[in-house]
Structures are given as structure tokens and as C-alpha cells.
Copies of this chain bind each other. A is one copy, B any other.
């Protein structure tokens, strides 16, 4: 299952449990049984407990009343809020980067990625693989996070983005065939380019606004994907499994 077998037990436990949650093997609301996980992941209960404590901090599980942990579920509002939160934090990172000045090589790397995204999106054929785009997009955002040169900001973003539906590429996967998506990604890359321009010219406020608005693309995707789930519940993408259907809000 996992090719990364070279890790220590508590790393295996952490990654393993997170994957079980993302795969839907552990479903939101379900109580997490330590002995069961210990057996399934072939480690003792100690690293399982360590992993559960971390997953609690990360937001994947939460303490149950009076003992143990349950898999956490998120409302649709939580998902939208998480996206807006990322937009705000990336906006802060962008502003700080612009105000403090981005290292030239970092700026160069951002430009390179923007160009390569354009190339990837220009490739014809509706059946192209999204993964190159996803990798490039991840790279761009990673550079932005570092551009602020602020460990505090970077950590805050990194922690948030552990929640899959808050990540820059949430909901982008697996639907590249739609022409509408390609158009959206082109638009997003225009924003990338404008952001680089703002950073280069030290335009902090513009950079912040762009980064903030940029995250709204994810909100749009999320809306679509949630609507799609209403009709075909089986097509739930991994990020979606954590989001419970709205029952009564």
C-alpha cells in the first residue's frame, strides 16, 4: 500500500491513519479504535496514540466526550471558510513579500512556473493529465508561502493546508476533461502572472488583493463539486469525504 516503508512507527501511524480517513475507511463521526488501528497498521498502540494527538491538532479527529477520539466532520461552511482563510493568509504572505522584497531567484522561479503552466494548459487534447498542472500550481503556491520570509505566516498556512479541502489544488483533480475547467485554470494563471508582477513592483496591497481573490476559484470549484455530489453521491472526491452533507443548518 505505502511505498514509504522506511519510516519510523509513529510516522507510519500518522500517515496511515490520515490516509484511512481520506480514503473513507474511517468515516466522519466514527469512533477511532486504537487496538483496531494498531493491528491494521502493524504497530503498537503507543505510536497510534501519538498520531491521534497530532491528528487532533491538525483537525482530522477530535476528542470524543469523556474518552477517545472520533473522526471529525466538517460542514460545508467550514470548507468555504477554510478556503477564505487560506486566501486571507496567502494575501498576508503576498503583501509581506511585496513589502519586504522577494529574492530575485524566487521571483524567477515563480515566472518559470507561470510560463510552464501556460504551456501545460496550451497542450491540446481533452484527456490530458491534470497532475502536471497540480504539481506546478503547488509549486507556485509554495514559493508564495516562502516569499513572505516569515516562518510564522508560513507555518500558519502550512497547518491550514493539511486539511485537503483547504489546499490550493483541492477539487482540481480528476476533472480536467471539462473545457470549462481549462478556462478557469487559464484565468487562475493570469492571476498568478499579475501576482508576480505586483510582487516585483512592491505593490503590497495589489498583491494581497490578488492572492485573496485567487483563492475564490477554489470556492467556485467547491460549489460545483458539492452540487455534483447531490446528484451522484458516489463520485465523492477524497477531499469531499470529510465534508458532511448539510442536514440542518
Q: Which residues of A approach B to under 8 Å, CB–CB?
A: 49-50, 53-54, 57-59, 77-78, 81-82, 84-85, 88-89, 91-92, 96, 150-153, 155-156, 159-160
Contacts and interface: CB of A to CB of B under 8 A. Distances in A.
A58 B152 CA distance: 12
Given A57-B57, A81-B151, 9 more contacts: A53-B53, A54-B57, A57-B58, A59-B155, A78-B152, A82-B152, A85-B156, A88-B91, A156-B156
A239 to B, nearest CB: 15
A52 to B, nearest CB: 10
Contact of A53 (B50, B88, B150, B152): B50
Binding site secondary structure of chain A:
helix
Contacts of A155: 59
Contacts of A150: 77-78, 81
Contacts of A49: 50
A155 B62 CA distance: 13
A32 to B, nearest CB: 16
Contacts of A57: 54, 57-58
